[in-house]
Each structure stands twice: as structure tokens, then as C-alpha cells.
Structure 1
């Protein structure tokens, strides 16, 4: 179909069927932001997206089924792709489409509506969600309109990034993830028209669909699409990629703070060039650090980097201060949240904004006001302190454990409730178990974490009931298991102790479980 014919067919207004769903809602919003008259018809009685729809001028017919009047006065129909797979629905659609209006779906959106703005994509193993949100915040604070998909899901795979890039705004900032399947990132980045990409780091994760080398190749697909690459110069895997793509423009961020006592890691990685063990002068975070090899492979020159990193403790929380360098300019900066991983996340976001041409003072101001992302080192209770974190692979767990251990005193204990699903293979599960040996008590509530309990060299408390739970995706525990683990943690915790829930199930179910427990306590005291 020619583009003129397609756009002419939309002139009298369109109906979007299934517009309250994930993809359908974005199709409707893209059409509306291009000034087409859009009506959503959906059998759902309401949607949490209703305020967005109304703000963007989309008409709603919710809780309605198709009838003879559904398409009256309209010139085209868009259907969410999931509905096109439903034989009952398609038969019904054909019966009521008596005027034989053209029926479109996502393919026409991707073909005829291109992003009219710069598109930045963020990927990596750890830190991509925080980096994405921080980068969005930087642009918004500096007066840019940054489109959001508005969905109550992470939205970093399949068609969501590609559709989000086509929403109204000045610049698109997308998170693009992978489940370790070949072609996944390349397809999403190509459909999103990504021209600048940030890769935070690459560590072991999502190995159920292949080897670590397969996973590296998945992340590498982003470099095949984008023209400008912003990479962690302290990650040897990412540094090696520069030599493989000589037609791209690379920018590197990292840390230069080799005399800082905060850094005491002893993690090593093989040289990606010759296979020998890399020599690390310092590990800043797991395999991230200052490295070199006898073959000549070493860290690149950094474009944006941090020095003089300090952790400042304030009560039961900590902040991070450091000096950020942009080429030959430097500014002092304070992060409202702690952890070396957040230094890296802020550097990645700052480098991307700087490459895009933002003023350095505006970048620093925005980073200092960024409050973080829900589910990442998120405090949900005091007395005792309860923290939830999405950490779900060895690198992520090591990062959060090191961060929380900085809050440990002689009088308090660290209690970890492990809800992690197995995504890093058996070797990764064992590594996580050993990392948890540094805390005082571990309560495993997911099946993988229970099986790995024998590798934990500290106090382990098992929950009593074993609710039967079948892992779905990356959720490793049921709401009931998380609740029971939290009850056990609260039972043994003193007021100044710290309870940390790690894993996606902990992030998803801890707040409702805590509210239920607190309500019961209040009710019992009355």
C-alpha cells in the first residue's frame, strides 16, 4: 500500500479495537498525536489509562461489544494484534464491518509512522531501568518533552519501545531488554529507529536460552543498529566491542578513583582479546574496574568519569558524593541514593545527555534531584528498616548486599529474604547463595534459593509452609511465600535491624504483604 492511500483512509476517523491493552493503547495514542480522530472500543469497563486517553483527545466506548453502529462514520479500523489471533473475534469483526473498512494493526503503524525525534535506547544487564529513568529526568528538568508509554509494566521488549518512540515528544528515551533470544534487541532497536544507545554493563543473566557468549551477542545487536554508542569503559566486554565496529562513534564513561578504600573487590575476567586473565589494578564493582593485559588490551580514555567518591551516612540511609568530569570540565555532585552502582548509572545518563548537547550545569542539577526508581533500593518501612530491590543475578545481588552492608553497625543485623527466580543458571544461583553469606540471616522463599541454602555460610531460616508455586517468567515466589518470609523476618527483627527483600517477587508482593501485616497489628491492638 502506498503511504498516500493509507493516510487518506484515516481522514474520517478511526476505531481502535482492544485499545485498553498494552499495544492497542499505544496504537491509539500514536494516531491521536498525529491529529487523527480516534475512538477506542473495548469490552473492558474501565482502564487505568483513561486519564491519558482523555488528555490526548481520544474518545472512549468502554464496556461495549461490537454492534451495527460501532464503525458508523469512520473510515478505518485498527485492531490490537492479540485480537487478530482470536477466531471468534475476527468472525465477529467481519460480520459488523459491513462497509468493508480497511483493517490495520501494528505493521501499518511501524511502516507509516516514523519517529520524528532523536531516539536513545538503554540496554545492559544491570542498571538499565534506573539509567533510563535518570536520563528521562535529565531531559525533562531541562525543558524537553519525553514520551512515556504509561503502562504498568516494565515495557522494555517486543513492540513497546518501537511504539513509545513514535509518541509525541522532543526526544525518546527507551529501555530495551532481552530474554537472551537472538534477534530480539536488533528487531526492537531497528523498529524504534534508535540512533544513540547506552549499554550499562554485561554480566551473567538470562542464560536459560543459551550460553554467556550468546547473551553477549544479544546485547551486541544494539551496536549494529545505533550510530552513537555510550558504553561503560570499565567493562572489558564492552570495551572490546569498539574494535569490532569501526564505523560507529563511541563514548565511554567510568570511574578513576584507584586509591579509594571503598573499592576492595577481587573479581577477575578473562581478556576478550587473548583469553588470559586480565590484571585489575582495582575493582570498582565486580568485573568493572581498571584493567590491562599483556596483549595491550586496557581501559579506553573516558569521556565522562567520576573521582573522589564518598559514601555519607545519614541515619538509616546513605548518600553518595563524587566529582563528575566531562572531558576538561568538572563539577561536584551529590546523589540522593547510595551505592557505586548508582554512580555508574548516573554517569551513563550524564554521558548520554552530554553527547546530546545538554548544558553540564543542567545535567548535574537534574541528577541531584533524581529520586531513583521504585523497586531499586526502595525503603518501604522504618522500625525495622525494610528495603526492596530488584536484584536478580550475581552482579546485582553483590551490588545491593555491599550497599546495605554499609548501613550495618555493631548493634544491628541484616536479614535478607530471597525471592529470586533462577535466571543465571545453576552457577549463578550458587554465586548468589555465597554472596548472601555476608549477611546475618537469610530467609529463602523461592524454590531456587531454598535449593541453594547449603551454600550459604550464615544463619538460614526456612519458611514452614511450602506453597506450591510454578515459576512464571522472572517471578520466583508466590505472594503467599513472600508474605510468610516477611512475617518471619519481622518476627526475628529488632527495631534497628534491616530487612532486605531481593528479586522481582519481593518488589511486586512485599508492599501488599506489609500493609496486610500492619493492618492486622493495628486491628489486634484495638
Structure 2
């Protein structure tokens, strides 16, 4: 294990060390799991947290926000405390340290972009496992660890059982915390990982406020290629902004996927240089935006020289992450999708329409505490998607299932409804997710289709439906 001390960590965190300079002989960890010698990293900490860290024998605590009398208590108990204005710096250092210490010889792959990161990362991981690699990924059903703004991934790498052969890590294209934009997040975290391969999915608007234009989003995503010294970059040829990024890596091999490339989808399936690799019947999902994810994963497998038979087997047996166009029930057909930004909403509604045979119902959760702009754009995306079709739309604030961090503010709700009304879209609005689901299911018959879309406010829908005995 590569040792360092609190003074060195303070420098790397651009922070101030309060307390002694002592050797650190543990790993980076979250407070509840910390063991003797570990570095505890928290966005904020109070006296209770300082006491817990001290009792657990932590080497030090790094935080961006020391609340109450936590500084004085840290001094009293002799626990070194590092105060930094940029918590992402310590997490980037933690990630690099964990890789250098525990996974130096791994094949490392980074996936970033606006949409499709999680599915693409998850599928690449499946291909690696099928090929016999001991591989780790940070992608889970809720994309909880893809932000890399806490030490979870560094912790997971340090605690991985057995020798690691490969890492495939999803990197959020932009990130912020406490009303602060973490400028250059994709660049910083990609540099910490030092990948051999970078995969870019697409550019669209999502985190309004962190980025306010496609140009801003493109700049942040392309940051993952700045200073890239790996081997290969895999780009979506169908996205013009991503396609142009090939010029940023003159010393790397650029592989494109999509229309007119070596890895493309045509009638019958996915082809590599005109050779059919995966027939359409073997796709785990048929929606166009998910086929883009399959193409990206297949292109990565090809870049790694994994044989086509293995790639096909992995893709065919792939089980989608939760809330990625999942079918929760068949009569009526209930589809659950994480669609939470304009492009995702449009693509998901279009995909659901292909399955509609009876009436079409949409239940959408407003994005809480995410600002007016993203909700205005999301509402417009819904309006554009349904104005020419027969659709029953229900909107919910999900007040019964969200926490304070995801509470829908009155202006957010107002602008969402105002956009729909301005576009002449009729909708029913409920404060709770439970009522929205109950009312919709009461109206629907067995031949109808119900699409559930939205982020945190729709995440609990599966459990709500289960409690109501609908699934």
C-alpha cells in the first residue's frame, strides 16, 4: 500500500490541515464504514461525525463544510482535519491513489456523455466478464456512484476481492454540489483514472445551471479527452458534436460507431465491417437509443479484440439496469424508464409508442429542486412528443416519496404546467406519486400502455406499485 501523510493530502486537496501531520495507513472511506487508519471524506461534517471518526480510529477527516463546533472538537480529540473548498480534489486523488495502489495493471475504460452512460458501461462490464476478466464497474441501477464526488469508487477498488483485470468506470459529464459548479469534472476524474480507452455517447442538455447550452455540455464532455494519453477513443458518429471530438486526440486510435462506420446497425442487426455480429432478435432491447448503447459496447469489445462470439453471448444475455425501459407488467403494459432530460424523454416516448395497441398513458414526475430551466425543457419535450397523438398525461410532484433534496418547488411545478398549457396539452396533476399511479391504473384496461418517466420522483414507482399489489 502506498503510504502518504496528512500534510501531503492537504496539499493535494488544496486545503488547510488542522492538527498534526501523521502517516496515513488506511484507505479512503465513508464515515459509516471507516476503520482504523482510514481517511474519511465527507462533503460536510458536524460534531457527531467528528466523534464517530475519532472513535473509529480514522487517520483524518477531509471536508468542505465543517459545521458547528466540529473544528474545535477535532482539535480536542486529536483528529487531523483537512478543510478544502473543492471536495472533488480529494476524491480525484483518492481515485488515482486507489488505482495506483490496487489496480495499477488493469485495463481501464471510461464512459461519459449525457445519455446512455450507465447502460453502455454496464454492458461493457458484462462483455468483460463474459470474456473472463475480473472486472469492476461503478454503475448501478440508480447511478449512485457514477458522480465520483465521494470516495465510494476508491473504496470499492481498495476492497475488491481478488486481482483486478479491468475497470470500466462511468464518469458524470458535469457535476455540482451546494450550488457550485465543479468545472472540468469529466476532465479531472478521467485524468485520475488514466484510462486506456474513453467511450463518448452523446451531447445533450441535462444539468441546466451546471451547463446552459450544448456548447457548454460539449466542452465539459470533451474535457475527458484533454491530455488523453491512452490507446483508443470510441465515438458516436451519429452525434455531430461527439464526432468532431476525434480531432482532439491526434495520437490515439479513433474508432467510430454508428451509421456508415465499421460498427453499425442495419436491417438485420449489428454489423462489423459488413459481417453480422448480433442479429436483431438477440438484442436485449429494441429501442433506437438503446441500440446506440449496444453499438458503443460492441465497439469497445472490438477495440479490446474480444471475439465476436463472446460479445454476442454477453449482449444476448444482458439484463438491463433498473428503470431502463423496464417492463413492470404486461396487462396493462407498464413501462418504467429513467428519462429525465429532454432528449431522453423524446426518445423514450417514441420507443413506447411503438408498443402501444390501446390507449396510451404517461405518468411523469417533475424534477424536484433541479431548477426551472430543466423542468421547462422537460415539459416542452413532453409537449412536442404528445401533441399529435392521443395520450392521457398525468404529472406528479411525488411529495409522498421524495426527500428534501428532491422536493418540487412551487416555481418548478408552475413552469412545468404552464408549458403544457401553453402548448394545449391537457394533463392531470397530483401531489403524490401513489395517487397518480392509482388513478391512472384505475382508468387503464388490459390492452393499454402506461409509461412512467422521470428521475428521483419516479424512482420509487416500482415499490409503490408493489405495495398497491399491481405488480
Of residues 217, 220, 240 in structure 2, which corresponds to 1:236?
A: 240
Match of 2:193 in 1: 192
Aligned to 1:429: 379
Instruction: Report the counterpart of residue 223 of structure 1 in structure 2.
Output: 225
Look up the match of 1:85: 66
Shift of 1:110: 4.9
| Aligned equivalent of 2:178 | none
* Structure 1 residues without counterparts, runs of 5 or longer: 29-36, 43-62, 257-301, 310-321, 468-479, 522-526
Deviation of 1:384 after TM superposition, in Å, equals 2.1
1:141 to 130, 149, 157: 130
Corresponding residue SS for 1:505: coil
1:513 is aligned to 2:464: yes
8 Å CA contact retained: 2:206, 2:341: yes
Superposition RMSD in Å = 3.8
Secondary structure at the counterpart of residue 485 of structure 1: helix
- Asked if structure 2 preserves the Cα contact closer than 8 Å seen for 1:434 and 1:457, the reply is no
Q: Does 1:304 align with 2:263?
A: yes
Farther off after superposition, 377-386 or 340-349: 377-386
2:363 and 2:393 in contact (8 A); partners too: yes
Q: How does 1:362-373 map to 2 (within 5 A)?
A: 362-373=310-321
Q: 1:249 aligns with which of 245, 249, 253?
A: 253
Is it true that 1:462 corresponds to 2:428 in the alignment?
yes
Distance in 2 between residues matched to 1:106 and 1:78, nearest whole Å: 14
The reply to whether residue 19 of structure 1 matches residue 8 of structure 2 is no
Q: 1:349 & 1:79 partners in 2: Cα distance?
A: 38
SS at match of 1:452: helix
Counterpart of 1:414 (choices 344, 350, 360) is 360
Q: In the aligned structure 2, how far is the partner of 1:91 from the partner of 1:397?
A: 49
**Corresponding residue for residue 470 of structure 1:** none
- 1:360–1:80: structure 2 CA closer, same or farther, 3 Å change rule? farther
1:483 matched to 2:434: yes
Q: Distance in 2 between matches of 1:252 and 1:68?
A: 51
Relative to 1, partners in 2 of residues 1:153 and 1:339: Cα closer, same or farther, differing over 3 Å? closer
Measured at CA, do residues 456 and 378 of structure 1 come closer, stay the same or move farther in structure 2, by a change above 3 Å? farther
Q: Does 1:385 align with 2:333?
A: yes
1:203 corresponds to: 204
Q: How many residue pairs end up in the alignment?
A: 403
Matches within 5 A, 1:58-457: 71=57, 77-79=59-61, 81=63, 85-86=66-67, 88-97=69-78, 109-110=94-95, 112-113=97-98, 114=100, 115-116=103-104, 117-149=106-138, 154-160=144-150, 163=154, 166-167=157-158, 168=160, 169-179=164-174, 181=181, 182-208=183-209, 209-226=211-228, 227=230, 228-255=232-259, 302-309=261-268, 322=269, 324-327=270-273, 329-333=275-279, 334-409=282-357, 412-421=358-367, 424=374, 426=376, 429-437=379-387, 438-446=389-397, 447=413, 448-456=415-423
Which structure 2 segments of 5+ residues have no match? 9-21, 42-48, 84-89, 176-180, 398-412
Distance 1:131 1:426, change over 3 A: same
The answer on whether the counterparts of 2:28 and 2:154 sit within 8 Å (CA) in structure 1 is: no
Cα gap change, 1:92/1:500 in structure 2, threshold over 3 Å: closer, same or farther?
same
Instruction: Tell me the distance in 1 between the aligned counterparts of 2:442 and 2:319.
Output: 31
- The 1:89/1:403 distance shift into structure 2, 3 A limit, reads same
Classify the secondary structure of the residue corresponding to 2:311.
Answer: helix
| Structure number, greater radius of gyration | 1
Partners of 2:341 and 2:374 within 8 A in 1: yes
Query: SS in structure 2 opposite 1:398?
Result: helix
Q: Which residue of 2 aligns with 1:312?
A: none
Deviation, structure 1 residue 219 = 1.0
86 and 179 in structure 1: CA distance in 2 versus 1, 3 angstrom threshold: same
Q: For the structure 1 residues 515 and 68, does the alpha-carbon distance in structure 2 shift closer, same or farther, using more than 3 Å as the test?
A: closer
**TM-score, scaled to structure 1:** 0.67
